Amino acid sequence: MYNTEIFELFNQALKQKATPGISYSLHGVKTFEKHYLGFKTYQDLDIVSEDSIYDLASLTKVIATTTRILQLIESKQLSLHDPVIKYLPKFHYSNIKIENLLLHNSGLPADLNNVMTFLDKDAVIRAIYDTNLIYKTGQNMIYSDLNFILLGMIIEKIDGEAFDQSITNNILKPLKMNNSGFNLDKNPRLFVPTEKSKLRGQIQAIVHDETAYKLNGISGNAGLFATLNDLDNFCQMYLNGGSFGGRKILKEDTIAQLFDFNFVGRTLGWQRWNKNDHTLWHTGFTGTSIAIDLDKNTYFVCLTNRVFPTRENKKWLPIRRLAIGLFFQEPELI
């Protein structure tokens, strides 16, 4: 896993001010390392620690939304081939299926334009329903937050409860992810701050993603907060064939099915590092990442707030990609 190289890379990243702090864990067959490097801000006043709560951004898509969708497929409450309009009748496109949303090949654009100008949650949802496709469904891949916002809404429809409550009941509690959730009611100082925004000021303990913010912090695309320890539990579940603490979260067959898909390097919810391996990964805009190698029974979780104080600092992005490559011990091959 090149543990030493990753550690040295991250220390250099801090010196280069690619991000104020880094919390990461490396789980191998014989090793388990956890490191908390640097601070929550560049003022060096508050170190990152096991109590630090991070805005996971798009890791929400795989930890929360994808996991719950897979559970619903297992229980036969949902099928990959179901059209979206079966659950959301106001959606305009009858040929877009659950599978298209998960693979990001629905044809929907990446996001809504000028979302911060929308009045409220209802306005955002109406705009998603009214959005025009930018390519023919199934013919291309555009990574889209809209796909996962719709999936979150479908989860609410099937479960008959708010998305955040469903995720808490079916994923977070069973995985003992006790410091994770949406709109967490905890001491704001525990939260690692993200961006300083002209519109919103210093964003801390409130979701950074603008669309999720307009959806009141509860969305299938972003909004989940968590500690590093909690994400270790999630990854351990994957290494344990879908089980954690004696409880089945996902079936082994469900996890195996992820490797039946490879559409432009993507499977259901996740990205694939190598089309020939059982490797999964995903990133979040705030600087987060998660990588799992089921062949080697290893995982790598890395949490940062690289957008502090501004998203214009992109130094972290190639460093993160390099670190994931070091973990997988091979260049990306989709």
Identify whether 260 is part of a domain.
yes
Q: What is the dihedral of CA 146, 148, 150, 156, to 10 degrees?
A: -150
In terms of DSSP H, where are the helices of the chain?
3-15, 59-60, 67-74, 98-103, 121-130, 145-159, 163-167, 210-214, 228-239, 252-257, 316-328
- Whole-angstrom distance, CA of residue 302 vs CA of residue 48: 13
Identify whether 55 is part of a domain.
yes
Q: Which of 226, 147, 153 is nearest to 191 (CA)?
A: 226
Q: What is the pLDDT of residues 164-193, one digit of tens each?
A: 999 999 999 999 999 999 999 999 999 999
- Whole-angstrom distance, CA of residue 287 vs CA of residue 102: 22
Phi (first) and psi of residue 46, to 5 degrees? -140, 110
Identify whether 334 is part of a domain.
no
* CATH assignment of the domain containing 94: 3.40.710.10
**For residue 22, what is the enclosing H or E element?**
strand 21-27
Q: What is the pLDDT of residues 287-327, one digit of tens each?
A: 999 999 999 999 999 999 999 999 999 999 999 999 999 99
Maximal CA-CA distance, the chain: 53
Q: Does residue 152 carry a pLDDT above 60?
A: yes
The encoded tokens of residue 187 equal 């001491």
- Whole-angstrom distance, CA of residue 22 vs CA of residue 35: 8
Contact between residue 297 and residue 94 where contact means Cβ atoms under 8 Å apart: no
Identify whether 333 is part of a domain.
no
Taking residues 94-109, report their average pLDDT: 98
Q: What is the pLDDT of residues 21-46, one digit of tens each?
A: 999 999 988 889 999 999 999 998 99
Taking residues 59-66, report their average pLDDT: 99
Per-residue confidence (pLDDT) for residue 5, from 0 to 100: 96
Identify whether 221 is part of a domain.
yes
Per-residue confidence (pLDDT) for residue 58, from 0 to 100: 98
Task: Give the pTM.
Answer: 0.97
Domain range for 154 is 3-328
Total domains, the chain: 1
Per-residue confidence (pLDDT) for residue 29, from 0 to 100: 83
Compute the C-alpha angle 145/301/74, nearest 5°.
60
Taking residues 6-18, report their average pLDDT: 98
Taking residues 121-137, report their average pLDDT: 98
Q: What is the CB-side half-sphere exposure of residue 25 using CA atoms within 13 A?
A: 20
Q: What is the CB-side half-sphere exposure of residue 18 using CA atoms within 13 A?
A: 20
Contact between residue 112 and residue 147 where contact means Cβ atoms under 8 Å apart: no
Residue 184, amino acid? L
Per-residue confidence (pLDDT) for residue 279, from 0 to 100: 97
